[in-house]
Structure 1
Amino acid sequence: MAVRVPPRWVVRTAWAIHRGIYKVTGGRVGLSKPGPAKYGTLRLTTVGRRSGQARSVLLAYFEDGPDLVLMSMNGWGEGHPAWWLNLREHPDATVEVDGARREVRGRRTDGDERARLWERWHVYDKRLDEWAALRSTEAVVIVLEPRPVAA
């Protein structure tokens, strides 16, 4: 059976509910560490590329050594999500994961690194290639690297 993207209103409603649960519980519910076959959820805060204001979003991720790996899927809709456009313009960001806050620097992956990390996503989503084929926009695989703490 072919995969189908749910209507945009369903995707946006699910995102709003997830953010609402996170907000109502003061962050006690809504974030999680990845497991052997389940991706984690983190809160990424970037600087808006036009507004200069802090912008936060909840995203799926997995760990690759000290790095956190994300994918700019935009709910499998066309185009890139605003958080990736913001991160591309202002790579320094913060993440909240498992009760801890980390300073990170985001970057796009290419070539062999992208291929390796794309394959790792298959652990969490067996139909990843089918979902990706529904978009004309390539999903960018992003690495968030730990940023050195200023002395």
Structure 2
Amino acid sequence: MSKARDEPPRLPPRWFVRLAWTVHRGIYRITRGLVGLWRPKPQGWGTLHLTTLGRRTGDEREVILGYFEDGPNLVTMAMNGWAAPEPAWWLNLQAHPDAKVVIRDGPRLVHGRAARGDERVRLWSRWREIDAGLDSLAARRSAETAVVILEPGAGPEL
């Protein structure tokens, strides 16, 4: 194999990734949610708007994430643009697992948790079907990337 094939895919600079996230959230806010969210397509992913409570402040924190559906559950990854630290939304969700999501079909309350064991293997394989470069991207991180399950919840309204 050539050296080029052994190298992980190139990622854009961190400043560009952060700018793209900011622009995406801005478009979502300016259009009041009319633009910025889409349903998963067959063999593809969609986007959702997640609202968590800050683990330190208790203030609402918002982020837009990629996801796919697994029965009634929504599945995402705590990847932080493939950077080493855990994303803040995941740390917040671990501290306060009840949250709110908005998907194209409307809002819903959820309870977040990490997939474990065989369930994680199954869901990671599903992500790999969606994104063939997943394993090489995940290898960039020093810790295992959490597969996060957002189950229908009945927690308090945010």
Q: TM-score range by the shorter chain?
A: over 0.9
The residue that corresponds to 1:145 in the other structure is: 151
Q: Cα offset for 1:148?
A: 3.3
How many residue pairs match? The answer is: 150
Match among 2, 11, 18 for residue 12 of structure 1: 18
**Is 1:84 the counterpart of 2:116 in the alignment?**
no
1:43 maps to which of 46, 49, 74: 49
Deviation at 1:144, TM superposition (A): 0.5
Distance 2:105 2:151 in 1: 18
| Matched AA of 1:106 | G
Q: CA 1:52–1:21 in 2, change beyond 3 Å: closer, same or farther?
A: same
SS in structure 2 at match of 1:131: helix
The aligned amino acid for 1:145 is E
Secondary structure, aligned partner of 2:130? coil
Identity of aligned residues (%): 56
Between 116-125 and 85-94, report the one with greater CA deviation. Answer: 116-125
The residue type paired with residue 134 of structure 2 is L
Which of the residues 102, 108, 119 maps onto 1:102?
Answer: 108
What runs of 5+ residues in structure 1 fail to find an aligned partner? none
Q: CA RMSD in A?
A: 1.3
Per-residue deviation, 1:130: 0.6
Matched residue SS, 1:122: helix
In 2, the alpha carbon distance for the partners of 1:40 and 1:66 equals 15
Q: 1:64 to 1:55 in 2, by over 3 A?
A: same
Q: CA deviation at 1:123?
A: 2.2
The range that moved more, 86-95 or 98-107, is 98-107
The question of 1:70 aligning with 2:76 is answered yes
Structure-2-length-normalised TM-score: 0.91
Normalising by structure 1, report the TM-score: 0.95
Cα offset, 1:99, TM superposition: 4.3
Structure 1 runs (4+) deviating above 6 angstroms are none
